[in-house]
Amino acid sequence: MALVTTTEMFKKAYAGGYAIGAFNINNMEIIQAITEAAGEVKSPVILQVSAGARKYAKHEYLVALAQAAIKDSGIDLALHLDHGADFEICKSCIDGGFSSVMIDGSHHSYEDNVALTKKVVDYAHAHGVVVEGELGVLAGVEDDVVAECSSYTRPEEVEDFVTRTGVDSLAISIGTSHGAF
């Protein structure tokens, strides 16, 4: 099978009435476990890479492991940057073989988030990569980022944000938390 974008995956999932698992990866054993299980049930999967994982396992190793997992498992997978903090990390992942990136500009003002997200979208789309943006702030801990307070996504901003940025998907804050334990 192949390294694909999440857009392709989502279209097939919507049409087929199924969900797609997205799992954060850090090393070979985690990638093997996820993709071998997905291969057994013939399910596509999203492998997500955080900034911490890129520091720990190194970008080049993770991309090579994802390519090996495609050959070994026979499944489609997307390699996705999870919560990219700035344009530079997104660009590095786009140039380095990821099929999907998330730019998390939610800690900026609304207008700065729009501008940053649009910049990433323009670069990513020119390279065949899809982009997830974020509106609202999740409370919790992820890598080195700690958000003690959350701010819910304002529904009245969603259409404007998506229209102005051109994101392919959107992460929203509805009161959930992750990484707290």
pLDDT tens profile 119-134:
999 999 999 999 999 9
Q: How many CA atoms lie within 13 A of 172 on its CB side?
A: 13
Give the pLDDT confidence score for residue 3 in this predicted structure.
95
CATH of the domain at 99: 3.20.20.70
Laid out side by side, the sheet with 145-147 consists of 145-147, 139-142, 177-178
Q: Where are the beta strands (DSSP E) in the chain?
A: 21-24, 45-49, 77-84, 100-103, 130-135, 139-142, 145-147, 169-172, 177-178
d(CA 102, CA 168): 10
Q: Look up the domain containing 70 and give its range.
A: 6-178
Q: Share the mean pLDDT of the chain.
A: 91
Give the pLDDT confidence score for residue 147 in this predicted structure.
53
Model pTM score: 0.89
Examine residue 110 and state whether it is found in any structural domain, yes or no.
Answer: yes
How many CB atoms are located within 10 Å of the residue 52 CB? 16
Examine residue 75 and state whether it is found in any structural domain, yes or no.
Answer: yes
Examine residue 1 and state whether it is found in any structural domain, yes or no.
Answer: no
- Which of the four pLDDT bands, split at 50, 70 and 90, describes residue 143? low
More confident residue, 147 or 76: 76
What residues act catalytically? 82
What is the total count of domains within the chain?
A: 1
Give the pLDDT confidence score for residue 151 in this predicted structure.
78
d(CA 177, CA 181): 10
List Cβ neighbours of 145 (8 Å cut-off, separation of 6 or more).
83, 85
- Which of the four pLDDT bands, split at 50, 70 and 90, describes residue 174? confident
Q: By mean pLDDT, which of 62-66, 141-145, 169-173 is the weakest?
A: 141-145
Give the pLDDT confidence score for residue 134 in this predicted structure.
94
Tens of pLDDT, residue by residue over 53-98, are 999 999 999 999 999 999 999 999 999 999 999 999 999 999 999 9
Mean pLDDT confidence for 15-22: 95
- Which of the four pLDDT bands, split at 50, 70 and 90, describes residue 137? confident
d(CA 20, CA 123): 26
First-to-final CA distance of the chain: 36
